[in-house]
Structure 1
Amino acid sequence: MTDNKRVAKDIMSGLLLAATTISVYFIFRDYVAPHVAKLIDPDRAKHDQNRLKAQQNLARIQKSRDKSKVANDEFADDEVPEDSPSTVRVEDLILNEYESQVALEVVAPEDIPVGFDDIGGLDEIIEEVREAIIYPLTMPQLYSHGGTLLSAPSGVLLYGPPGCGKTMLAKAVAHESGASFINLHISTLTEKWYGDSNKLVRAVFSLALKLQPAIIFIDEIDAVLGTRRSGEHEASGMVKAEFMTLWDGLTSTNSLGQPARIMVLGATNRINDIDDAILRRMPKKFPVPLPGKDQRRRILELVLADTKRDPEFDLEYIAMVTEGMSGSELKEACRDAAMVPMREAIRNQKAAGKSIKKLDPNTVRGLRTNDFFGRKGGAPSLAADSRPSSVRPEAAMSEREIYEVETETEDVLS
């Protein structure tokens, strides 16, 4: 009888010890561990927030992919290899804290309002980008007969003078391709802790591998991957070395021998400042020069598409006299010219003793050729001597009048 009581007592003690251990475990996990983690990792809350935002962003990317699949029924899912990451829903991917931070830079195609039709004067480059980059990257089954020779290049560089449309072309690629577009910023790779920048670089490529087909875009790539020098900071050199090492790893293939569908897209106006090893990894290079006459005419047509114009407006002449101007400079010239009719309408409204707030926009005259030869910041926006006598004004506005009208115009528009 005594032995039975002892056994029962031992069993009760064991059960009590087990219950106590389990209770302590759950208390430590749910209440103590989070506070300890905050003390050890002060950025834990930020990482959790980044992870939540990353999942929401990837869910939007998946919706875009679903819409794209519905619109392109000829490329059925059964054509995609079973082991391809693209068969996995992106919002279900498990991301570490570094991948979650990079996932915030993934851009959904519908968030970019720029397409190839919005770019003027780069038709040849756009066509080659479609045929040699976008199609092999997003539809590799069309190029399977050529093996790896017809696969998308691992790196593409857009270079040329500032304001010629390099970044705009990259935006259009992101919008038109439907591939996961990682818009990589310098600040994303910059961390205060030693070695974290290298881990972020690794996360960029590991995330791209999970989201493939993927495009990693680096604007002003010369600032991130410039020429390595002996006096360079150790952390900067390590980031470049890590980037190049992982970049070469893009040649890894899946079980079917197909290369990873990942491409690095860079844009710069200082190609000579890029490291030679980086240029070697970007075999496809597209020069984006200053627009010629036909290209300028196309840019002007796009910029002035929604602008009210005078019946005698000479678009061909404006395209001829704007030689040497970049696309962004043409846009600013059109902006300044479009303000001239508005200035005149405001002056006429004031001369009539009426409030400019009651000005009817429909009464503002259309844009004239002569409006491009006004004054911009105290200097002519276009060469005054280049205009024919038929479009030269008899009298120009004074700088004081221009300042007053511009101020009033800004008040009205605001």
Structure 2
Amino acid sequence: MDGAGSALTRAELISLLIRVGVAATVSVVSMRYMLKYLDPNHAAKEQAEKQAKRLIEELGLDRSVNLSEYELQIAAQLVSAAKDGVEWNELGGCDELIKELQERVILPLQLRHTHSARSQLLAPPKGVLLYGPPGCGKTLMAKAISRAAGARFINLQVSSLTDKWYGESQKLTAAVFSLARKFQPTIIFIDEIDSFLRGRQSHDHEATAMMKAQFMSLWDGFSNSDADVIVMGATNRPEDVDKAILRRMPARFAVPVPSNNSRAAIFRVILKEEPLAADIDFEMISRESSGLSGSDVKEICRLAVLRRARELVEEGVDIDYGQRAEERLLTEEDLLESVKKYRKCADVGHFDRRFLNGMFSADSEPLD
């Protein structure tokens, strides 16, 4: 009787434990699904992980390297140097700057593991700042450096480091540097770095301040290690970058508005694949477009090619046929007219102030 009672009690206990275990498992699974559907960024995270795995395979990286979910999110911002990289000859008019970059940034990366002495003084700079007016090729230059050095390139989007959950931003920030170390040599590129690492203020949001502090702390850790990781930033407002960040970027390069000679070289680079008239005076075109940036020159070239295409369409020429010999050559006049058109459209100084203030109406006087 006692034995039977004891056996029944044990059976009941085992049954109870099983029920508790099943309930706990169901609760955990339910909680995970609830968090999954409550998280507004869940779909974006899943997409980032898929993109990261595709990029890792495309870049030929070691797929056996174990990556956390945070590192996978950052890995989605890897850039393929073979597909999206830039060759030096695609940067017109930057010969002196390219020479300086090759000596101070690329050569140390190349010598890092080949020099017998392995001197710490041969290490590349841990921070590089490219500064200058907008549209002068800072981002293209960063990609060219990465390709020439054979380094991985993380085009870091600062928005990817922000998360609504407390502490997640810090984990993502840490993942930037841990991922860079795993696939070194790596360049972490931050465009418009002044918007992220600007001078710290007392009224900064707590989460933002913590993220900046951790970024600088991790950066310092790499500065004192032998990891081949470079943080590279680009800005057109260097005076707004935090002084502590500037201290961590000893290699600073000004990327100015191109000179007339440089601008002529940029015209030639952009139009090298186009059918051109033999008598185009690029030096004269460059003087006519004085003061314009590289991105302005690219838009001028686009307008010139579009002007040529429009005339061909009006003449009834099938420009999709593909026989380039039958196309009209791009002429000096096309470029000059495009320079005039671009200057007229780009100059906002002629706009009526009522238009700029959102007060323009049909009854207002027409613009000049």
TM-score (norm 2): 0.79
Is 1:207 the counterpart of 2:188 in the alignment?
A: no
Tell me, yes or no, if the aligned pair for 1:112 and 1:175 is still in contact at 8 Å.
no
Aligned counterparts of 1:210 and 1:15: Cα–Cα separation in 2: 52
> What secondary structure, in the 3-state scheme, does the structure 2 residue paired with 1:216 have?
strand
> What secondary structure, in the 3-state scheme, does the structure 1 residue paired with 2:113 have?
helix
Determine the structure 1 residue equivalent to 2:114: 142
> What secondary structure, in the 3-state scheme, does the structure 1 residue paired with 2:119 have?
helix
Determine the structure 2 residue equivalent to 1:376: 341
Tell me, yes or no, if the aligned pair for 1:165 and 1:327 is still in contact at 8 Å.
yes
Q: What's the CA shift string for 1:316-360, capped at 9, x where partnerless?
A: 3223332211111111122222333333334444xxxx9999998
Tell me, yes or no, if the aligned pair for 1:310 and 1:366 is still in contact at 8 Å.
yes
Determine the structure 1 residue equivalent to 2:31: 36
> What secondary structure, in the 3-state scheme, does the structure 1 residue paired with 2:233 have?
strand
Greater radius of gyration (CA): 1
Provide closer, same or farther for how the CA distance between residues 16 and 213 of structure 1 changes in structure 2, counting only shifts above 3 A.
farther
Aligned counterparts of 2:47 and 2:321: Cα–Cα separation in 1: 49
1:290 paired residue among 257, 276, 297: 257
Provide closer, same or farther for how the CA distance between residues 15 and 148 of structure 1 changes in structure 2, counting only shifts above 3 A.
farther
Determine the structure 2 residue equivalent to 1:189: 161
Tell me, yes or no, if the aligned pair for 1:308 and 1:367 is still in contact at 8 Å.
yes
> What secondary structure, in the 3-state scheme, does the structure 2 residue paired with 1:266 have?
strand
What is the identity, as a one-letter code, of the residue corresponding to 2:188?
A: I
Aligned counterparts of 1:179 and 1:334: Cα–Cα separation in 2: 32
> What secondary structure, in the 3-state scheme, does the structure 2 residue paired with 1:131 have?
helix
Is 1:57 the counterpart of 2:55 in the alignment?
A: yes
Q: What's the CA shift string for 1:11-41, capped at 9, x where partnerless?
A: xx99999899799869976x66433322355
Is 1:228 the counterpart of 2:200 in the alignment?
A: yes
Aligned counterparts of 2:325 and 2:19: Cα–Cα separation in 1: 76
- Alignment RMSD: 3.5
Determine the structure 2 residue equivalent to 1:317: 284
The CA deviation at 1:171 is: 1.7
> What secondary structure, in the 3-state scheme, does the structure 2 residue paired with 1:145 have?
coil
What is the identity, as a one-letter code, of the residue corresponding to 1:60?
A: E
The CA deviation at 1:133 is: 1.6
Aligned counterparts of 1:232 and 1:336: Cα–Cα separation in 2: 44
The CA deviation at 1:183 is: 1.0
The size of the alignment, in residue pairs, is 341
Is 1:271 the counterpart of 2:238 in the alignment?
A: yes
Unaligned runs of 5+ in 1: 1-5, 66-88, 254-258, 383-414
Tell me, yes or no, if the aligned pair for 2:125 and 2:230 is still in contact at 8 Å.
yes
Aligned counterparts of 1:357 and 1:152: Cα–Cα separation in 2: 49
Determine the structure 1 residue equivalent to 2:361: none
The CA deviation at 1:369 is: 1.6
Tell me, yes or no, if the aligned pair for 1:133 and 1:152 is still in contact at 8 Å.
yes
Aligned counterparts of 1:198 and 1:321: Cα–Cα separation in 2: 50
Moved more, 112-121 or 220-229: 112-121
* Correspondence list, 1:7-406, <5 A: 33-40=28-35, 42-43=38-39, 46=43, 50-61=48-59, 63=60, 89=62, 91-143=63-115, 145=117, 147-253=119-225, 259-349=226-316, 362-374=325-337, 375-376=340-341, 379=344
The CA deviation at 1:202 is: 1.3
Provide closer, same or farther for how the CA distance between residues 40 and 304 of structure 1 changes in structure 2, counting only shifts above 3 A.
closer
Tell me, yes or no, if the aligned pair for 1:333 and 1:381 is still in contact at 8 Å.
no
Provide closer, same or farther for how the CA distance between residues 245 and 380 of structure 1 changes in structure 2, counting only shifts above 3 A.
closer
Provide closer, same or farther for how the CA distance between residues 125 and 206 of structure 1 changes in structure 2, counting only shifts above 3 A.
same
The CA deviation at 1:381 is: 8.7
Determine the structure 2 residue equivalent to 1:81: none
What is the identity, as a one-letter code, of the residue corresponding to 2:283?
A: E
Identity within the alignment, %: 40
The CA deviation at 1:207 is: 1.5
Aligned counterparts of 1:241 and 1:356: Cα–Cα separation in 2: 56
The CA deviation at 1:263 is: 0.7
Provide closer, same or farther for how the CA distance between residues 359 and 38 of structure 1 changes in structure 2, counting only shifts above 3 A.
closer
Aligned counterparts of 1:49 and 1:17: Cα–Cα separation in 2: 46
Aligned counterparts of 2:52 and 2:342: Cα–Cα separation in 1: 44
Provide closer, same or farther for how the CA distance between residues 266 and 355 of structure 1 changes in structure 2, counting only shifts above 3 A.
closer
TM-score (norm 1): 0.71
> What secondary structure, in the 3-state scheme, does the structure 2 residue paired with 1:376 have?
helix
The CA deviation at 1:272 is: 0.6
Provide closer, same or farther for how the CA distance between residues 24 and 111 of structure 1 changes in structure 2, counting only shifts above 3 A.
farther
What is the identity, as a one-letter code, of the residue corresponding to 1:55?
A: K
Aligned counterparts of 1:355 and 1:277: Cα–Cα separation in 2: 59
Aligned counterparts of 1:94 and 1:173: Cα–Cα separation in 2: 28
What is the identity, as a one-letter code, of the residue corresponding to 2:290?
A: E
Unaligned runs of 5+ in 2: 348-368
What is the identity, as a one-letter code, of the residue corresponding to 1:140?
A: R
Q: What's the CA shift string for 1:189-219, capped at 9, x where partnerless?
A: 1111233222211111122122211111000
Tell me, yes or no, if the aligned pair for 1:137 and 1:262 is still in contact at 8 Å.
no
Tell me, yes or no, if the aligned pair for 2:127 and 2:249 is still in contact at 8 Å.
yes
